[in-house]
Structure 1
Amino acid sequence: MRSETNANSSPAEKLSVSPSNQSTRSSECRDVFDDNVASHKIHYKTLSWQFVACLMVSEIVSNGILSLPSALAVVGILPAIILIIFLGAFGLFTAKLLIDFKLNHPNVHNMGDAGFLMWGGFARELLSVGTIIFAISATGSLLLTGQQALSTLSDYRVCSIYLVIICGVVTFAISLPRTLNRLTWLAFLSGFAITLSGVLAMIGASLNPVPGRVLNLTVTTNFYEAFLAITNPVFAYAGHFIFFILISEMEKPRDAMKAACCLQGFATTFYVVFSVVMYAFIGNSIRSPALLSLPPVWAKVTFGIALVNFLITGGILIHTAAKTIFIRLFRHTHHIYSHTILGWTTWCILCFTAVVIAVLFSIAIPIFSYLIGISASLFAAWYTYGLAGFFWIHDTYHLKGGMAAIRKRTWGFALAALTILTGAFICVAGTYVSIKLIADAYAVGLVGKPFAC
């Protein structure tokens, strides 16, 4: 006769019933944040799905969108549009798999926790380090774009090193709140800023079309050039690595899919419209970021508005990197929920260190802009696409009946396998293209010097 405990157990609790796994079950089924304790001074599970959508939009629809129009110049309008729409739909599918995994395992706070659950200690360290590296690298990229914005606004009269440091200071200040709900209105402002900047850029391009511009519906090119171009739309959706952290602070985690739908619907539509309009009025001469192709006045206005997004998104990413370590150090201790000296000191040090590393990467490594591509290929390809397939296989096997359950779900397994293969392909091809880019840059003398203005 089945026990009452087993009959009413949650999916996560059914992973194992052996005595040797009781501690694992208990840890896995316990939510990462215990917010029902009256004595807690800091509460985390306060986010609505609307504000989570704002955080997602702010983090994903950022400076990546400014590189998308240049992809149309390389592969043509039609292939680029098809790719952007496909990746948007595929990103929504992988988001669904990721959200389902999180709901089944409440104690998963980040990709490192997911790796530990599926493969053990080494996977936890690898995926945790990958999360931190990618978050800091992406912040470094935003700092460089912020510096580019400030350089445009100042007519390149100020040393770029100082501008990066200024952006770093603001980013550090934004990252300091311990809970994400303190960043929600900033995230809304960030999403509004990048949207307004894009709309004004399209207006500026339409009012100042490039005479004699060349437009291509399709373009014949080699694999290297084609994949180099499509990395822009591929990594424009690379924000899934933060989803576990966002969902962990939701008041109603089961509403996470609503936020993901809002994100992917808005991002895909905006990506297509912005890319096509900018390319249509500028043509194959369009630069990356696209705002540099606008007349000086329009470039200053749009860069000035977009700068708000660059700084706030950088703060959210630094917050992500710091929280990955902070939760690892103090999970289920009073330092998480109380204003302790140790807790706040550690938090400030983590945020400050992450920003300093991002700033140093930006100004001290001449090939940093190329290394961002390697970082995205090695980690974002898996976080956004590949790992979702493993999440589906793991939970189907452990929660729904082992191999028999997988065999009954042929289409589900096929799609899961496709996500894994997609992640592997993007990882390998993206790394190859990034390394070749570095070699080519050195060959033609495009690599500058460290700490150069």
Structure 2
Amino acid sequence: MSYEKDFSKTDYSSPSDEPPTRLGAPNDLATYHEHDVFGHEENHQIKYKTLSWQLVAVLMIAEIVSNGMLSLPSSLAVVGIVPGLILIVFLGIFATYTSWLLVKFKLRHPEVHNMGDAGLILFGRFGRELLAFGTVVFAVFATGGQLLAGQIALGALSNNKLCLMLYTGIFAVPTLIFSAPRTLDRLSWLSVPSVISIIVAGIVGMVGAGLHPTPDRTISVTVNTNFYAAFVSITNPVFSYAGHFMFFILVSEMKRPQDAMKAAYVLQGFATTFYAVFAIVIYIYIGDGVLSPAFSSLDSVWMKAAYGVAIPNFLIAGSLYAHTASKLFFVRLFRNSRHLHSHTFTGWFTWVVLILLVNAAAFVLAVGVPIFSYLIGIAASLFASWYTYGIAGAFWLHDSYHDGDGVRTWRRKWFQTTLAMATFAAGAFICVAGTYVTIKAIVEAYNSGAVGRPFSC
């Protein structure tokens, strides 16, 4: 496929305009930067495009390989070690493919900063608002999920001596502070210790499980189960790769966006390997009774050690999610204005207000909604299923249609077309099935009396 572009026929002024009719990607870096969301930044006070692909890889790992891995051993307990391992590896390969599609789409469309901008190109103004809304909702819910992870960690370290809501509040303060930098470059350096912490925490957890295995444990190679139980467990590995909704924002702040796939390869290679090793080791030593999060199944001393080491990762991951939601609003408000690149009162005041609102919303949801953990699952099913898997197929179908000869291009490249359509269908299936099983889980939780009160300890 040719990625040549006739820039004279494309309007890149603002994503609030109608989507371009000619699509492609620039062949040189200078042309790309001329048309991307931040433009040329040589004379600006605030420079966004400062990230190397190595730092983007670190940011991706810090965001994705977080507390999501702690649910994977329990998934193996439901479906068995062999199906679980196959699923983890397959989803890693699948996520790598969809990463490639997202990066190619971004390089063809430099003006795309977030999923909302991509939605404008695919579906018009309605698509922009829907995908932007989903990005913000998922980012806020994911921030709240990290606050709950911090709550669990602090509670484990202190033997739950304080009110759980207080632990969440304590954890919310540094999360707010770390999400405050205007550029991802500042957060990227904070992500280095974050990645180290989750790696070390995983190793500590595996060592603790090996030294204190569960006596008389049962390990299942395969398990016969029903669709509901199986898919509930499958959502854990499915959404452990759910970081694609940030890819456009991350690539937009790279010095060389053409290197974005290097970061994606590092991310998916590391995540898939680490997920598989961690899930298998913990499951083998703990057995079918493993809890989610998995660290809670460890001996008390090792549980505290693992949670303690993992806290920096929970903090930075939450900060990245809050930063993402705030950045989408900020760029939407001040795109092509001096407030985006200059130290103006309006710019900084707006940024601080957005950071406060996003973090406050995450905190209130985390402590005020008793079924919040289930709502995270619904948000992931409705949006992350598309951002990570399904919509990537639509990106390829759209660009191949407009860059080539329409349907004739689809027919000529039938294998890629079939794969893209299958990707879109997979996203739709995960969305519908994930929403169904999560709603059913909420109903069962209410019927069993497992749902607590809002703002309670």
User: 1:303 aligns to what?
Assistant: 307
User: 1:216 aligns to what?
Assistant: 220
Correspondence list, 1:150-165, <5 A: 150-165=154-169
Correspondence list, 1:80-91, <5 A: 80-91=84-95
The answer to whether residue 207 in structure 2 is matched with residue 203 in structure 1 is: yes
Correspondence list, 1:7-18, <5 A: 10-11=4-5, 13=7
- The whole-number CA distance in structure 2 between the counterparts of 1:162 and 1:12 is 57
User: 1:423 aligns to what?
Assistant: 427
The answer to whether residue 340 in structure 2 is matched with residue 336 in structure 1 is: yes
The answer to whether residue 373 in structure 2 is matched with residue 379 in structure 1 is: no
The answer to whether residue 36 in structure 2 is matched with residue 31 in structure 1 is: yes
Q: How far has the Cα of 1:14 moved from its partner?
A: 8.1
- The whole-number CA distance in structure 2 between the counterparts of 1:11 and 1:158 is 60
User: 1:5 aligns to what?
Assistant: none
Correspondence list, 1:120-135, <5 A: 120-135=124-139
Indicate the SS of the match to 1:329: helix
Q: Which shifted more, 117-126 or 75-84?
A: 117-126
Quick one: which of 161, 183, 187 aligns to 1:183?
A: 187
Q: Deviations over 1:240-296 (max 9, x none)?
A: 000000000000000000000000000000000000000000001100000000011
Indicate the SS of the match to 1:73: helix
1:35–1:43: 8 Å Cα contact kept in structure 2? Answer: no
User: 1:410 aligns to what?
Assistant: 414
Q: How far has the Cα of 1:11 moved from its partner?
A: 2.7
Correspondence list, 1:68-107, <5 A: 68-107=72-111
User: 1:362 aligns to what?
Assistant: 366
**Taking structure 2 as the reference length, what is the TM-score of the superposition?**
0.94
Quick one: which of 62, 68, 89 aligns to 2:66?
A: 62
Q: How far has the Cα of 1:63 moved from its partner?
A: 0.5
2:6–2:22: 8 Å Cα contact kept in structure 1? Answer: no
- The whole-number CA distance in structure 1 between the counterparts of 2:5 and 2:137 is 32
Indicate the SS of the match to 1:284: coil
Q: Which shifted more, 23-32 or 140-149?
A: 23-32
2:9–2:22: 8 Å Cα contact kept in structure 1? Answer: no
Give aligned pairs, total.
441
Are residues 12 and 309 of structure 1, via their aligned partners in 2, closer, same or farther at CA, if it must alter by over 3 Å? farther
User: 1:44 aligns to what?
Assistant: 48
- The whole-number CA distance in structure 1 between the counterparts of 2:248 and 2:22 is 17
For 1:404, the aligned partner's letter is R
Are residues 228 and 408 of structure 1, via their aligned partners in 2, closer, same or farther at CA, if it must alter by over 3 Å? same
Unaligned segments of structure 1, at least 5 residues? 1-7
Indicate the SS of the match to 2:288: helix
Q: How far has the Cα of 1:36 moved from its partner?
A: 3.5
**Superposition CA RMSD, Å:** 1.8
2:19–2:124: 8 Å Cα contact kept in structure 1? Answer: no
For 2:40, the aligned partner's letter is D
Unaligned segments of structure 2, at least 5 residues? 12-16, 24-31
1:71–1:80: 8 Å Cα contact kept in structure 2? Answer: yes
- The whole-number CA distance in structure 2 between the counterparts of 1:10 and 1:24 is 18
User: 2:445 aligns to what?
Assistant: 441
Q: Which shifted more, 425-434 or 182-191?
A: 182-191
- The whole-number CA distance in structure 2 between the counterparts of 1:279 and 1:175 is 34
Indicate the SS of the match to 2:250: helix
User: 2:264 aligns to what?
Assistant: 260
**Taking structure 1 as the reference length, what is the TM-score of the superposition?**
0.95
Q: How far has the Cα of 1:401 moved from its partner?
A: 2.4
For 1:11, the aligned partner's letter is K
Q: State the 4+ residue runs in structure 1 displaced beyond 4 angstroms.
A: 14-17, 22-29
Q: How far has the Cα of 1:25 moved from its partner?
A: 4.8
Indicate the SS of the match to 1:285: coil
- The whole-number CA distance in structure 1 between the counterparts of 2:6 and 2:428 is 28
Structure with more helix by fraction: 1
1:14–1:399: 8 Å Cα contact kept in structure 2? Answer: no
Identity of aligned residues (%): 54
Q: Which shifted more, 105-114 or 402-411?
A: 402-411
Q: How far has the Cα of 1:24 moved from its partner?
A: 5.6
For 2:256, the aligned partner's letter is K
User: 2:280 aligns to what?
Assistant: 276
1:15–1:399: 8 Å Cα contact kept in structure 2? Answer: no
- The whole-number CA distance in structure 1 between the counterparts of 2:184 and 2:416 is 34
Q: How far has the Cα of 1:330 moved from its partner?
A: 0.3
